[in-house]
Amino acid sequence: MNKIKALLLIAALGASLAACSTGDGGGGDAGSSTAGYTVEVSELDPSAYPADYPLIPSADFATAFENLKDANMDGSLSSYQDVADIFGVDGAYYVNNDFEADDIVYKYYGWYADGGESVLITFEADGNDLNYYAYAGNGIS
């Protein structure tokens, strides 16, 4: 029980630090399409992540990924914040990779584990809101 409390406290501390970090334009909440972490690559690469990204321990990442899959299946994911809450940290925004189709802009964010696993999440951008659309796991199933 104490181990779980410690992990939750660490996750909350990490989220607080991410929200209060460098002041570079956002914390990646549902009301903002600007993330605190960014990935600048010419093509989507699920293994590329920012040097300052707080990698999630693999065991915690696996648990969060299972929670993501469950929430996806039951339709309870709706926003960026829903996903950030599951992983306990902000995702990293793939800056140069927005995709537009039929006047809908899709934005890509990644969450990363210290064991090399990652998940790429696609959001529909509706103004400044990021609405959950889909996910793809990398190195995890």
pLDDT at 128: 87
One-letter amino acid for residue 12 of the chain: A
Distance (Å) of CA 119 to CA 3, 24, 41, 44, 48: 25, 24, 16, 12, 11
pLDDT (tens, 9 = 90+) of the chain, 141 residues, equals 444 433 333 433 333 333 333 333 333 444 444 568 999 999 999 999 999 999 999 999 999 999 999 999 999 999 999 999 999 999 999 999 999 999 999 999 999 999 999 999 999 998 889 999 999 999 998
Domain that holds residue 12: 2-138
Domain count for the chain? 1
Tell me how far apart the alpha carbons of residues 3 and 106 are, in angstroms, rounded to a whole number. 38
Q: What DSSP character marks residue 109?
A: E
Q: Which helix (H) or strand (E) holds 139?
A: none
pLDDT at 74: 95
Tokens linked to 90:
């902000």
For tokens 């929430």, the residue is: 71
pLDDT at 141: 81
pLDDT at 35: 64
